[in-house]
Amino acid sequence: MANKNYELMHNHIMQTTANLLVTVPFSKLTVKQICEAANINRNTFYRHFADNIVLLEVMLTAALTRLFEKVEVAEFKQHPFESIMKLEVEAPLAAFDFQLDDSVFQDIFDGMIFKTLRKLTDDQEFLWSLGNMYIIRLWNHNQAKPYSLHNGYQIFDQMFRDRQFPDSKK
């Protein structure tokens, strides 16, 4: 029974954090805020996670693993952004899009994605696709985010296929 209770609390902390990440930048999110929102004490939090960075890494690893299991790799290689949109994960994508404005979150995410997906696949073409997606994401961020994944996935896939950014003079 103790293992089941531990797992339930572990998931409760992660779900509470996911809810907070919709509106609170990760760099501003404290363990105290998580504990208050989850209605737990700090000792409970620290029984599950060493700190909020480890918590985020666990959450990202789990999310990336679930995402990878759902993605059709052949389709992803052709239309990666559309493939993600088809997964119907709009709420998590909104939080993700929001968090990408936070440099601390970006650093953690960028460090995690290749490390995690490298464990899941040795398909070099797939991994190169992730690198190209990262470049498109950086371009979009440096353009003051003219597109979100939700409204810009077709443009992102066009950039991915053409390996060219849209003409910024238009």
Lowest-confidence range among 80-94, 97-111, 134-148?
80-94
Is 80 exceeded by the pLDDT of residue 90?
A: no
Is 50 exceeded by the pLDDT of residue 169?
A: no
DSSP state letters, 50-99: SSHHHHHHHHHHHHHHHHHHHS-HHHHHH-HHHHHHHT--HHHHHHHHHH
pLDDT band at 39 (very low <50, low <70, confident <90, very high): very high
Could you give phi then psi for residue 37, rounded to 5 degrees? -65, -35
Higher pLDDT, 11 or 89: 11
- Closest to 152 in 3D by CA, of 164, 137, 138: 137
- Closest to 22 in 3D by CA, of 110, 82, 98: 98
Using CA atoms, how far apart are residues 134 and 92, in angstroms rounded to an integer? 18
- Closest to 126 in 3D by CA, of 67, 62, 57: 67
Tell me the per-residue pLDDT of 42-68, one tens digit each, with 9 for 90 and over. 999 999 999 999 999 999 888 878 777
Task: Tell whether domain 2-162 is in CATH 3.40.30.10.
Answer: no
pLDDT for res 129: 84
pLDDT band at 35 (very low <50, low <70, confident <90, very high): very high
Tell me the per-residue pLDDT of 109-166, one tens digit each, with 9 for 90 and over. 887 877 777 777 788 888 888 888 889 988 988 887 788 777 888 999 999 999 999 8
Is 70 exceeded by the pLDDT of residue 22?
A: yes
Provide the H-helix boundaries in the chain.
Answer: 2-20, 31-38, 42-48, 52-70, 73-78, 80-86, 90-99, 103-120, 124-142, 149-162
Is 80 exceeded by the pLDDT of residue 86?
A: no
pLDDT for res 140: 87
pLDDT for res 168: 55
